[in-house]
Chains A and B, each alone.
Chain A
Amino acid sequence: MAALTGLEQPVAVPAARPPGRLRVWRGVVFLLAAAYFLVPLGASLWYTIYTPTAGVSFSAYGELLTAEGFASSLVLSLSLAVATIVLALLLTLPAMLAVRLAAPRLRPVMEVICTLPLVVPPITFVAGLTTSLRNGTDLLAPTPFWATLIAVQNPAFPIVLVLAYVVLVLPFVYRSLDAGLATMDVRTLVEAARNLGASWPHVLFRVVIPNLRSALASASFLTLALVLGEFTVARLLGYQPFAVWIVTISGSRGQVSVAVSILSLLLIWLLLLAVSTVFGREKK
């Protein structure tokens, strides 16, 4: 009995203690993480609304909405994001389905190709792109394709940026969709639908996509976030989407540029929230 009691004690005490201790640790970690994110954010916010001379004022935000280029660069970024999402999904989803259903052996090849953009630094990528565009213009000058090449570079809606972004987001889109496809038995579901008379488009829209919602949502998330924040490629190719515009005006008006960063952060949060509610309805 005595031996038993002696054994019990050390077991009983740690059993009682960890929850309390764990809670404390959890709190500490949470606070640290929160501070890491919130302190810079709070400091930025304070910087935008307080000046020693004028005190607290929201004039920087007011100025922002009327500043030249705000609306146009934001609209450009958002439309680039939408176009990139659509094009990237249109390219990858059918290709991934085809590989899974018809040529499973090509999966490693596809994986390598889709992951490749992660390895190439954007600066290299854009240098190559610039050279190609310049040489392409020279080469294609006598042919009708010249007009196409010029149209692709239209500053109002630079298709060339969409194409570049599709390459950049490829690894993220591929990973998301691959994870989504792994959660279901694609082959059996497709065959079951075919057996019930469904045409290929019907299979895609009524069977595959509805079961791939969360994967499509996360692919879209990542693409949206990446495109809205992308600076290097857009800047070096000479376009002015949102990120480039922020940097451009930050030189002249410090307060406004920080205000715009905070606003864009808020905007992206709202957009992500919207995307997740749209795609998240499936969970009942």
Chain B
Amino acid sequence: MTAQVEFRGLRRVFGKTVALDGLDLTIEPGQFVALLGPSGCGKTTALRCVAGFERPDSGAVLVDGEDITNVPANKRDAGMVFQSYSLFPNLNARDNVAFGLRVRKVPVATRRAKAGELLELVGLPAHADRFPHELSGGQQQRVALARALALEPRVLLLDEPLSALDAKVRVSLREEIRRLQLDLGITTIFVTHDQEEALSIADRVAVLRDGRLEQCGPPAEVYDRPATPFVAEFVGTMNHLAGHVSGDKVTVLGQLLPIDGAAPGAAQVDVLIRPEAVQVTPADDGRAEVLAASFRGASVRLRLALAGGEVLADVPGHEAARLGPGTRVTVRLVERPVLVAERTVTAPAPQSVDADAV
């Protein structure tokens, strides 16, 4: 019950907005792919093209190599969970799950059994007789998931199913979705604008921007080796520091670090540094100063002022006490290959000269 899904040159225009601008992406059978991007990047439109609620202006959607672009929505083999609560208000949980089976004229006994089974699978065996308004948001989305799986579709489509839920439920439910997906081995497309969500449960993350694919790869690769500056910015946080290239190394904040990937042509570049790769030590004669510290439990994000610019750094939470605002510190970067990009930002240009002198 699993299939390969392929987007081929998908293009969709709404009035003047281009939602999809030639999207090409192949999702292998059994894979869990997260479509990630800011709002308006076309990720939901792409999903709706698979479900059949949206017809592309050009291009095609293929499932197992078969073009389904013109197949009506009710003849497609794809279960979908929606962003807003979509249970039928007049039916209880069991009948909601059994809706698709009823459409297919499955005998009552069979569909009741199947619905019971699925409710058990999503952890709600005792809620079969409850109506949607008697269920919490998280429970409603579980039932919606069970309903989408009831017809044993070849593809599971999740359109930001967690965005209406509160933080704790969101995390537990997304782990459950992943567990279920692995058990069933069903090809899954998960649309989200939450990069943490995408990175934590997907086999591959596809980052979209303005209706085009920016990068598609395993979460670690997207995070560590963003293919474009946009991906670097959108997935996680990036510091842009001015750097000076010499050979296959780059000088940044007074440190000489190897370049990850091919060395760029220009000598003046942006060096992209993750906040967690910035090490901070309190020192009375430090050249940097903590401007602000925001405590996040496990970690603290520091905003540091260096001569001429600012840098973000993440340090372990227990260091919060000795790194309050106003503390003088020294800054070092973790010794590992760094990404460089064309000089685009105004970022600490004079400060890099200063840093060179250190």
Q: Which residues on the A side are within 8 Å of B88 (C-beta)?
A: 189, 192-193, 207, 210-211
Q: Give me the 3 closest cross-chain CB pairs, A-B, nearest first.
A: A196-B100, A194-B73, A192-B86
Q: Which residues on the A side are within 8 Å of B144 (C-beta)?
A: 192
A191 to B74 alpha-carbon distance, docked (Å): 9
Quick check: B103 and A192 within 8 Å, CB to CB?
no
With A195-B73, A197-B104: A188-B84 Cβ-Cβ less than 8 Å = yes
Quick check: A191 and B53 within 8 Å, CB to CB?
yes
A196 to B82 alpha-carbon distance, docked (Å): 13
Give, as a whole number of angstroms, the nearest-CB distance from B108 to chain A: 15
Question: With contacts defined as CB atoms under 8 Å apart, how many contacts are there between chain A and chain B in the complex?
Answer: 64
Any B CB within 8 A of the CB of A202: yes
Q: Mark B70-95, 1 if CB is under 8 A from A, else 0.
A: 00011110111010111111100000
Quick check: A196 and B90 within 8 Å, CB to CB?
no
A262 to B297 alpha-carbon distance, docked (Å): 75
Q: Which residues on the A side are within 8 Å of B103 (C-beta)?
A: 196-198, 202
Quick check: A196 and B99 within 8 Å, CB to CB?
yes
Q: Which residues on the B side are within 8 Å of A184 (C-beta)?
A: 89
Quick check: A199 and B86 within 8 Å, CB to CB?
no
With A194-B74, A196-B99, A197-B151: A185-B86 Cβ-Cβ less than 8 Å = yes
Most chain B Cβ neighbours within 10 Å, of A189, A196, A198: A196
Q: Which residues on the A side are within 8 Å of B100 (C-beta)?
A: 196-197
Which residue from A185, A195, A282 sits with its C-beta under 8 Å from B148?
A195
A194 to B151 alpha-carbon distance, docked (Å): 13
Give, as a whole number of angstroms, the nearest-CB distance from A187 to chain B: 9
Give, as a whole number of angstroms, the nearest-CB distance from A102 to chain B: 12
A198 to B73 alpha-carbon distance, docked (Å): 9
Q: Mark A188-228, 1 if CB is under 8 A from B, else 0.
A: 11011111111100100001001100000000000000000
With A202-B103, A210-B90, A211-B90: A195-B51 Cβ-Cβ less than 8 Å = yes
Residues of A bordering B, CB below 8 Å: 184-185, 188-189, 191-199, 202, 207, 210-211, 282, 284
Give, as a whole number of angstroms, the nearest-CB distance from A206 to chain B: 8
With both beta carbons as reference points, the residue of chain B lying nearest to A207 in the complex is identified as B88
With both beta carbons as reference points, the residue of chain A lying nearest to B73 in the complex is identified as A194
Add 9 more A-B contacts to A184-B89, A197-B151 (CB < 8 A). A188-B85, A191-B51, A191-B53, A191-B80, A191-B86, A192-B88, A195-B148, A196-B74, A198-B99
Quick check: B82 and A192 within 8 Å, CB to CB?
yes
A188 to B83 alpha-carbon distance, docked (Å): 9
With both beta carbons as reference points, the residue of chain A lying nearest to B150 in the complex is identified as A196
Q: Which residues on the B side are within 8 Å of A191 (C-beta)?
A: 51, 53, 73, 80, 82, 86
Which residue from B51, B74, B76, B84 sits with its C-beta under 8 Å from A198?
B74
Quick check: A189 and B86 within 8 Å, CB to CB?
yes
Any A CB within 8 A of the CB of B147: yes
Which residues of B93-121 have CB atoms within 8 Å of chain A's CB atoms? 99-100, 103-104
Which residue from A185, A197, A211, A284 sits with its C-beta under 8 Å from B74?
A197
With both beta carbons as reference points, the residue of chain A lying nearest to B131 in the complex is identified as A284
Give, as a whole number of angstroms, the nearest-CB distance from A156 to chain B: 40
Quick check: A282 and B151 within 8 Å, CB to CB?
no
A194 to B89 alpha-carbon distance, docked (Å): 16
Which residue from A185, A193, A282, A284 sits with its C-beta under 8 Å from B99?
A193
A192 to B157 alpha-carbon distance, docked (Å): 12
Which residue from A185, A197, A211 sits with its C-beta under 8 Å from B84?
A185
Q: Which residues on the B side are within 8 Å of A193 (C-beta)?
A: 88, 99
Which residues of B138-177 have CB atoms within 8 Å of chain A's CB atoms? 144, 147-148, 150-151
Quick check: B74 and A199 within 8 Å, CB to CB?
yes
Which residue from A188, A197, A202, A211 sits with its C-beta under 8 Å from B75?
A197
Residues of B bordering A, CB below 8 Å: 51-53, 73-76, 78-80, 82, 84-90, 99-100, 103-104, 131, 144, 147-148, 150-151
Q: Which residues on the B side are within 8 Å of A202 (C-beta)?
A: 103
Give, as a whole number of angstroms, the nearest-CB distance from B68 to chain A: 14
With both beta carbons as reference points, the residue of chain B lying nearest to A191 in the complex is identified as B53
Q: Which residues on the B side are within 8 Å of A211 (C-beta)?
A: 88-90
With both beta carbons as reference points, the residue of chain B lying nearest to A183 in the complex is identified as B89
A282 to B133 alpha-carbon distance, docked (Å): 14
With A199-B74, A202-B103: A194-B86 Cβ-Cβ less than 8 Å = no
Quick check: A282 and B86 within 8 Å, CB to CB?
no
With A194-B53, A197-B103, A197-B151: A188-B74 Cβ-Cβ less than 8 Å = no
Quick check: A195 and B89 within 8 Å, CB to CB?
no
Quick check: A192 and B89 within 8 Å, CB to CB?
no
Give, as a whole number of angstroms, the nearest-CB distance from A207 to chain B: 6
Most chain A Cβ neighbours within 10 Å, of B79, B99, B148: B99
Q: Which residues on the B side are within 8 Å of A185 (C-beta)?
A: 84-86
A210 to B131 alpha-carbon distance, docked (Å): 14
Give, as a whole number of angstroms, the nearest-CB distance from B1 to chain A: 15
Give, as a whole number of angstroms, the nearest-CB distance from A128 to chain B: 40
A184 to B148 alpha-carbon distance, docked (Å): 20
Give, as a whole number of angstroms, the nearest-CB distance from B250 to chain A: 51
Q: Which residues on the B side are within 8 Å of A195 (C-beta)?
A: 51, 73-74, 76, 78-80, 148
Q: Which residues on the B side are within 8 Å of A199 (C-beta)?
A: 74
Q: List 19 A-B contacts (CB under 8 A).
A: A185-B84, A185-B85, A185-B86, A188-B84, A189-B88, A192-B80, A194-B73, A194-B74, A195-B78, A195-B80, A195-B148, A196-B74, A196-B103, A196-B147, A197-B75, A197-B100, A198-B103, A210-B90, A211-B90
Q: Which residues on the A side are within 8 Å of B131 (C-beta)?
A: 284
